Amino acid sequence: MINGSFTVAIDGPAAAGKGTIAKAVARYFDFEHLDTGLLYRAVGVKTRQSGDAVSIAQNLDISDLRRDDLRTAAAAEAASQVATNSDVRAALLAFQREFARRAGGAVLDGRDIGTVVCPQAEVKLFVTASPEIRAERRFAELCAQGAKTTFEAVLADVTARDARDQNRATAPMRPADDALLLDTTKLSIDAAVTMAVANIKKAMQGRD
Ligand code: DC
CATH fit for domain 7-197, picks 3.40.50.10860, 2.60.40.1730, 3.40.50.300, 3.40.50.880: 3.40.50.300
Question: Distances in Å between the alpha carbon of 80 and those of 24, 40, 59, 93?
Answer: 25, 7, 19, 16
Whole-model pTM over 0.75: yes
CA angle 205, 187, 30 (to 5 degrees): 40
* Residue of minimum CA distance from atom 3 in ligand 1: 14
pLDDT in tens, 79-102: 999 999 999 999 999 999 999 999
> What is the rounded distance in angstroms from the CA atom of residue 120 to the CA atom of residue 159?
30
| Residue 34, strand partner residues | 108
Give the SS3 label for residue 69: coil
* Residue of minimum CA distance from atom 15 in ligand 1: 83
SS (H, E, C) 40-59: HHHHHHHHHHCCCHHHHHHC
**Ligand 1 contacts CB of residue 57 (under 6 A):** no
Domain residues of the chain, as ranges? Answer: 7-197
pLDDT at 208: 66
Distance in Å, CA 83 to ligand 1 centroid: 7
For residue 108, which atom of ligand 1 is closest to its CA? 18
Q: Which residues of 102-132 are buried (b: 16+ CB within 10 A; e: fewer)?
A: eeebbbbbbbbbbbbbbeebbbbbbbbbebe
**Ligand 1 contacts CB of residue 14 (under 6 A):** yes
Distance in Å, CA 4 to ligand 1 centroid: 28
Residue % of the chain over a pLDDT of 90: 91
Residue 33: φ, ψ to 5°: -120, 135
Within 10 angstroms of residue 82's Cβ, the number of other Cβ atoms is 24
**Ligand 1 contacts CB of residue 76 (under 6 A):** yes
pLDDT in tens, 97-151: 999 999 999 999 999 999 999 999 999 999 999 999 999 999 998 899 898 999 9
Give the SS3 label for residue 24: helix
**Ligand 1 contacts CB of residue 83 (under 6 A):** yes
**Ligand 1 contacts CB of residue 128 (under 6 A):** no
